[in-house]
Structure 1
Amino acid sequence: MAHTKDNTTTQRTFKHLSSYERGKIAALLQEGYSQRKIAEKLGRNHSTINREIKRGTTTQLNYDLSTYEQYFPETGQAVFEKNRSHCGNKSKLLKVESFLQHAEKMILKNDWSPDVVVGHALKNNEFTKDEMVSTKTLYNYIDQNLLDVKNIDLQLKVRRKQRDPNKRKHKRLQGKSIEERPETVDDRKEFGHWEIDTVRGTRTKDNVLLTITERSTRQHLIRLLEDKSSAAVDQAIKKLKVQFSNVFKKVFKTITADNGTEFANLYNHDVDVYYAHPYSAWERGTNERHNGLIRRFIPKGEQISNYTEKQIRRIQNWCNNYPRKLLDYSTPNELFQKELQAIINPV
């Protein structure tokens, strides 16, 4: 316990890890940083980082049924909140039966998260507060096996392999660094700023998905490509220019990409292009998060060529019509259409 004043009164200077810090821990672990290096970067004690990694590490199953250990910030946060919880009011379990049946239906049949179920119900006055439970309580009921929903039914986390930053030297592409990107892009208040990436099914030659996510509305576009090449990406962008016709420059003001060679020609499409730092996926976190949603439908390791364009459109529609907490439980499609109409028919 540290003394901050020269008297007998002590104040605790330690602060619990935030969800942002847990996200940074996950990102740095993926980059291969040691626990001590992570502690130095976050200005934390090594023991704090060690305990957090133990708290948030779970056993995952590979496709060959072998297992491996991986840290997830969401797990660490959930365990922390559970450990911090205290005895409160008596369980509302029997008083909210109708809501719990609704939650089971939306999670199991519509693939909604518990938070979306609660938020959407509140926003649309489907239940009163006395007739339902909070997101935290709903998760607790699931953990306690009080519902037909199990943790395995909830959203699967994307499994990623660690990459060695020294494996290859970064090749500078024609475009600006993300460090030069305007602040108006960072704060997400202005419409028209996108993040782009590709999603592969297998490492063999196969179709890939091109994904483009708008930062403010979270609109997620998915396009099926023949291969992971700059020519295929160029063709997809050209089709978008035709689709959005005269408003393309207002809809696509900037695009932030990684340093993959498939994005080498983006600067040729009348849009400002910014490249993220090598092995810094969190700099395109919006797009990465949405690519994780795709994995609900197309698990890693499955060939993209097994899916038709119609099926890909269905996945895209699900992503864009999924209510989001950070959008006040509106859908990306609702906000995107509103922005598009404002451009087409300005007041």
Structure 2
Amino acid sequence: MSYQQLTEGKRYQISALLTQGYSPAAIATVVEVHRSTVYREMKRNSHDGVYEPEEAHARSRSRRVMARKYRVPEQTVMYVELALSWHWSPEQVSGIGKLIGLPVSHEWIYRHVAAEKARGGKLYKTLRQGHKRYRKGSNSKRAVIPEPISIDDRPAIVDTRGRFGDWEVDTVLGRHGSGALVTLAERKSRLYLVRRVDAKRATDVRDAIIDMLMPYADHVHTITADNGSEFVEHKAIAEALGAEFYFAHPYSSWERGLNENFNGLLRQFIPKGTDLRLITDEDVRWAEKRLNLRPRKCLGFRQPEMVFQEYLQAA
């Protein structure tokens, strides 16, 4: 059964069944939604362990309003595409847009161009280096992710880093055929986790993510990934952790910039092209430790590991 938005009526059903002692899985069967939907609903909309359907529905509507607020208006999209046709750079389009009352970031413009190219569009040809920046999109075969939830639907609070428990996930490949590293980064504390897997198979990646995050399951609200085939088991991951799993736009690595940055730093200890079969789990933990004990300017030169523990104890 697929993920779906809950109606106010279903929320009252959930409340009544909780009162009768039904488990979330049993509630899902009665209400006819996926059980991850019920887990997600209770996690997001309960207050101090109490689920009130009227308050839950109000919170849900508020989040949808905020999501619409951050969508780019159609008039702005029309301006962006017109300006790109004049061979303006995204930075120039963004700068002029702010002056004429059509604000849009240059990062969004790049995402829009990439998404439009994936649909067969030609906007990328207006960019000075478009053929280089997006050449991967012309011939790569993207995995079909079952029932993905777009980053566009992710709560706005994740972007602000104002909440503890929002994670980014990625994989780092070693020499061909030697395995991969599954990496996770917590956006607020900047904690970085690394786990080696024998292959970039979806089942291996699924198990690694669940195993790494299960000790902190109460502090896993969202996970954001790219569109790689190794994440096709996203629903199993979300269900196991009681979290929400989102997918960034294709070819938009900046939407998971923290993890991308850490993966680059990891190369200091495990260089590109390393045969991961020759790397021990102790080697991986040592590199992870080194990165988590580095003082970070964005944390007031505190260490991610220490900051993460402070948030755990305060929660």
1:43 aligns with 2:16: no
Q: Please give the alpha-carbon distance, in whole angstroms, between the structure 2 residues aligned to 1:38 and 1:200.
A: 36
1:295 aligns with 2:263: no
Q: Please give the alpha-carbon distance, in whole angstroms, between the structure 2 residues aligned to 1:218 and 1:275.
A: 20
1:252 aligns with 2:220: yes
Note the C-alpha offset of 1:309: 0.3
Note the C-alpha offset of 1:206: 1.5
Note the C-alpha offset of 1:213: 0.2
Q: Please give the alpha-carbon distance, in whole angstroms, between the structure 1 residues aligned to 2:183 and 2:220.
A: 14
1:180 is matched with which residue?
A: 153
Cα deviations by residue, 1:199-255 (Å, 9 ceiling, x for unpaired): 0112x211210000001111000001111011101211332355x1xx51x211100
1:196 aligns with 2:169: yes
% identical aligned pairs:
38
1:219 is matched with which residue?
A: 191
**In structure 1, what residue type is equivalent to 2:298?**
L
1:264 is matched with which residue?
A: 232
Q: Please give the alpha-carbon distance, in whole angstroms, between the structure 1 residues aligned to 2:295 and 2:88.
A: 36
Contact 2:145 2:231 in 1 (8 A): no
Q: Please give the alpha-carbon distance, in whole angstroms, between the structure 2 residues aligned to 1:218 and 1:322.
A: 11
Contact 2:174 2:273 in 1 (8 A): yes
Instruction: Specify which of 276, 286, 289 is matched with residue 314 of structure 1.
Output: 286
Cα deviations by residue, 1:162-203 (Å, 9 ceiling, x for unpaired): 75212135434432101111111000010000000000112x
1:237 aligns with 2:209: yes
Structure 1 gap segments, 5+ residues each: 1-34, 45-159
1:165 aligns with 2:147: no
Higher-Rg member (1/2): 1
Number of matched pairs: 190
Q: Please give the alpha-carbon distance, in whole angstroms, between the structure 2 residues aligned to 1:207 and 1:37.
A: 46
Q: Please give the alpha-carbon distance, in whole angstroms, between the structure 2 residues aligned to 1:327 and 1:36.
A: 42
Q: Please give the alpha-carbon distance, in whole angstroms, between the structure 2 residues aligned to 1:262 and 1:39.
A: 37
Give SS of 1:176's match.
Answer: coil
Contact 2:171 2:183 in 1 (8 A): yes
Q: Please give the alpha-carbon distance, in whole angstroms, between the structure 2 residues aligned to 1:176 and 1:37.
A: 34
TM-score of the superposed pair, with normalisation by structure 1: 0.51
Give SS of 1:164's match.
Answer: helix
1:210 is matched with which residue?
A: 182
Q: 1:163 to 1:310 in 2, by over 3 A?
A: farther
2:245 is matched with which residue?
A: 273
Contact 1:230 1:264 in 2 (8 A): yes
Structure 2 gap segments, 5+ residues each: 1-83, 94-131
**In structure 2, what residue type is equivalent to 1:198?**
T
